Amino acid sequence: MVRRRCDAGQLFFYNLVIQMHMVEQFTFDADGSSFLWEHLVEDTLYFQSPYSNSHVFLRSDIAYESYGCINLSGTNNLR
């Protein structure tokens, strides 16, 4: 299990003030075929109550296939 906490403090984003607190927990199963992502988000400025949810991610046996993506991001994003 991995637990991560993020506090935004006062983050200004497009003239919005975000006072967010987030806790994430990742639980991996023993055979590595899936993991559970649980998260809790609190922001008293925008949410009436804390928001929590969970998702199960399953490992795929299908290999990754490239699909000929065209890079439109420009030279400023090249690394």
The better pLDDT of the pair 73, 61 is held by 61
**Are 22 and 11 a contacting pair, CB within 8 Å?**
no
Model's pTM, two decimal places? Answer: 0.59
d(CA 69, CA 13): 30
Structure tokens at 39: 């998260």
pLDDT class for 54, splitting at 50, 70, 90?
A: very high
CA distance 21 to 66: 37
What are the tens digits of pLDDT across the range 5-51? Answer: 666 555 555 556 667 788 888 899 999 899 999 999 888 888 899 99
Domain boundaries, the chain: 2-73
Residue bearing tokens 């987030």? 22
**Separation between Cα atoms, residue 60 and residue 58, nearest integer Å:** 6
Q: What is the pLDDT of residue 55?
A: 95
